[in-house]
Every structure is written in C-alpha cells, then in structure tokens.
C-alpha cells in the first residue's frame, strides 16, 4: 500500500514525451520515499481509497519535480554589500578582485568563522530556497583556500542538508582564487590543491571538484592539472568556464567529461561542440549576469542546435549573485537569456539533476525516483517563469516527507 496518493493533480513530469511531460488529469503516489505512481488517473490500478494510507485531493493544482539549484556558494562568512556600492560607483568586478576585495575578502571572513557561525548564517539562506519548492541544492566550498577551512565548509554544507531534510550535493572548489599568502606562486598553490585531493576524497565530504578558469583566477593549464588529478581519484568535475573571457573553458571541461560547465557567456563553437560530445550540461547563471551588469549573452542558440542540455541555477554567493530565489532565476532566464518557460523549468529539474549526476534518481516525476515533489497554485507551468517576486508554492515533499 502506498503512503500517500494525490488525486486530481495536473502533472508536469518533465519527461520527454510531451511539452512539460504534462498529464492534465493525473495522480501521484509515494511509498518508502520514492515515487510509486505518476501518470493519468485513469491508469490507477484500483479505487484510490484502497491504494494508499492517505488520499489527498490535489484540487487541480500542478505538480512538478522538486526544484534543483545546481550551483551555489551558500556557506561563507562576512558580507560584501560595500562592493556593490563600489561597482555602482564604476569599479569593475576584476578591479575589486585585484585590489584584494572579491573572493579574497570572503575567504578572510570564512576562515575566521566557526562552523557554528557558518551554520547559523547559512541556514536562513537555505531555508529561503526550500520555501520556493527547492528540494536539492549543490553547495561549493572555495572560501577557505586552505584544507581545514575548505573541509569545514563542506562539513557545514552536509550538516545543513541533514538538518533541513534536503538533498545537498557538495563540491570542492579549492581552485577558486589565489590566497594572499600564495601571491605570485599560483603554480605552487595548484600543487597544494592537487596534494589535498586525496584527503578530500577520503573525507567523503565532496561529491565533485570544481575550479575557476579565468584571467583573475586560474589558467587552462592549471585547471587541467587539477582535473586530471581529480579524475584519477574518480572524482567528477565541474567548471566555472568562459564567464569573463574565452579561455576555452567549455572545451576543457568537456575534455575531462565534466558534469557541467557553468556561466559560459564567452563560450565558442568548438566549446559547444565538445560539450555536446561529452554530455556536459551548460549551467546558465542569470543572477550573476544581472548583478554584474554583463552584456555578453551565453550562446543559447548554439547550445540548442548542438543539443546541449541547459540548466539554471542561482549561483547564490556574496559577491556576484546574492540571491536565494530560484523562481526569480526562471524569470530572468526567460527575459534575459530568451529561454522558453519550458526550457527554464527543465533547467531547474531534469537538466539540473543531470548537472549533478543525479539524473537516474531526481529531476522528473517517474516511478522509482526520489519523492521530491512541488505542488503549485498555478494554472499552467509557464506561470512559474512568468511571475516574479511571487511564490505560488502550495506544498512540497522532500524525500517522501511532506514538509510542514
């Protein structure tokens, strides 16, 4: 017998057989933390009352997979509101970074913060995401830039997921920026990051390894070394690629079979083709594009032509995308990047799951997948991207548990 069955739901299953994988007269059941049934109500094997311990009338609402934020930097210390003022006064992101601000200022604050302080600071940020129907979040390190602080960030991220009842995937981002104590010795610092990878692997705290391949961070050659070492340890990789310039980051990510390449404003045709061959997901980050007032659009048409899946994420971080609204990113993806509402919703469900290597267990409403479900007070799925500054969430299920 199923644990709970919703009747009179409209389902946006986000499967391939129809737009949104839509079922207009649907039913959805969960059992033992998994989806047991998601399909036309007429296909139910018997009277609803005899199938489940609890039967709920969905009142014609839409259900989608629980939303997935596949790129965040939620765990950090300090605040960078002053840098926002500086940018408005004319300073560029690169100028602030080269003057000792940017990532380095957050690194100093994160190193000084205890795990308890980081937990207390980050939990409200995570709760804001969860309140919008998010059930899975990726959280990167990258604000420690020494082994102890990086592992502290990853440990806090895991504990946050356990405390909130959400799925949290963690990513080691030791190659995020050059720490001040390593000034002028970037290659030596990369040697240290590589030397730390076995300890990161043994800790079990990282699901993937990331790097920032950019002029203000690390070169393609340095990034290649980190990824070669990570793949030798069977750690999946992801890459901050082609955000501010074309350094061939997308092709480099694809060379290593990366789960995703993220940002991608300057990605060229060769990079697009390489991503398509490798099955690497393009993660678009409209919040950072908006906040930094960028004008160079990612090559969405190229990704479409090549069949590269496009995911959407908040990139929630203190310096370039201080947002905790994935629903707002849906709207921005449509208005700024010209995605369709269906592409945007795919970007926070099926394609976001693929960007985290979770496509077999998350991202669609299908029997056997994790019972992560969002139920919405909307008349059509496109409304989730159409309205902004508005949260139509009615109910959410995470891991088979109905959230209060």
Give how far Cα 319 sits from Cα of 20, 316, 332, 395, Å.
34, 9, 18, 32
pTM reported for the whole predicted model? 0.96
More confident residue, 50 or 296: 296
d(C-alpha 240, C-alpha 296), whole Å: 16
Q: How many CB atoms are located within 10 Å of the residue 18 CB?
A: 10
The confidence score (pLDDT) of residue 91 equals: 86
Residue with tokens 């199938």: 51
**Going along 195-323, which residue ranges are E strands?**
208-213, 238-241, 260-263, 281-284, 310-312
Class of the CATH-defined domain 2-65+365-402: mainly beta
* Mean pLDDT score across all residues of the chain: 96
Instruction: Give me the mean pLDDT over the 200-222 stretch.
Output: 97
Fold held by 67-355: TIM Barrel (3.20.20)
- Angle between helix 186-203 and helix 220-232 axes, rounded to 10 deg: 20
CB contact at 8 A, 240 and 263? yes
Residue pair 35/361 in contact by the 8 Å Cβ criterion: no
pLDDT of residue 100: 67
Please say if the pLDDT value at position 283 is more than 70. yes
| Mean pLDDT, residues 153-171 taken together | 98
User: What average pLDDT does range 113-118 have in this prediction?
Assistant: 98
Question: What is residue 115's predicted lDDT score, i.e. its pLDDT?
Answer: 98
Using a pLDDT cut of 90, give the percent of the chain over it.
90
- 13 falls in which pLDDT band (50, 70, 90)? very high
Q: What is the pLDDT of residues 26-68, one digit of tens each?
A: 999 999 999 999 999 999 988 777 899 999 999 999 999 999 9
Nearest to 223 by CA among 265, 178, 170, 181: 178
Domain residue extents for the chain: 2-65+365-402, 67-355
Question: Which pLDDT value is given to residue 105?
Answer: 87
């Amino acid at each position: 017998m199923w644990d709970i069955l919703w009747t009179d739901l409209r389902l946006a299953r986000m499967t391939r057989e129809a737009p949104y994988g839509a079922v207009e007269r649907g039913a959805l059941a969960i059992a033992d933390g998994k989806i047991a049934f998601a399909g036309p109500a007429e296909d139910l094997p018997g009277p609803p009352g005899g199938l489940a311990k609890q039967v709920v009338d969905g009142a014609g609402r839409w259900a989608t997979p629980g939303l997935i934020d596949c790129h965040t930097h939620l765990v950090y210390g300090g605040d960078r509101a002053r840098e926002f003022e500086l940018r408005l006064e004319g300073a560029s992101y690169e100028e602030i970074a080269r003057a000792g601000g940017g990532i380095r200022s957050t690194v100093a604050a994160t190193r000084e913060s205890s795990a308890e302080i980081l937990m207390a600071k980050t939990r409200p940020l995570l709760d804001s995401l969860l309140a919008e129907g998010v059930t899975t979040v990726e959280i990167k390190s990258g604000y420690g830039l020494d082994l102890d602080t990086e592992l502290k960030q990853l440990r806090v991220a895991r504990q946050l997921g356990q405390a909130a009842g959400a799925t949290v995937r963690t990513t080691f981002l030791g190659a995020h920026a050059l720490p001040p104590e390593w000034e002028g010795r970037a290659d030596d610092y990369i040697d240290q990051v590589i030397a730390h990878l076995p300890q990161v692997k043994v800790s079990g705290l990282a699901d993937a390894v990331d790097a920032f391949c950019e002029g203000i961070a690390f070169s393609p050659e340095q990034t290649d070394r980190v990824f070669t070492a990570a793949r030798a340890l069977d750690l999946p990789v992801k890459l901050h690629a082609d955000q501010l310039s074309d350094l061939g980051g997308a092709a480099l990510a694809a060379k290593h079979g990366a789960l995703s390449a993220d940002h991608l404003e300057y990605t060229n045709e060769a990079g697009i083709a390489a991503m398509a061959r490798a099955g690497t997901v393009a993660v678009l980050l409209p919040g950072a594009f908006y906040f930094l007032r960028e004008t160079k659009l990612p090559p969405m048409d190229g990704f479409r032509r090549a069949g590269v899946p496009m995911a959407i994420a908040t990139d929630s971080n203190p310096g370039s995308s201080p947002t905790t609204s994935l629903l707002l990113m849906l709207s921005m993806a449509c208005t700024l990047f010209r995605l369709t509402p269906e592409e945007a919703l795919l970007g926070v469900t099926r394609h976001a799951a693929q960007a985290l290597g979770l496509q077999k267990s998350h991202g669609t409403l299908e029997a056997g997948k994790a019972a992560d479900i969002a139920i919405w007070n909307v008349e059509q799925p496109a409304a989730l991207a159409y309205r902004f500054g508005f949260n139509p969430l009615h109910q959410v299920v995470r891991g088979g548990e109905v959230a209060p």
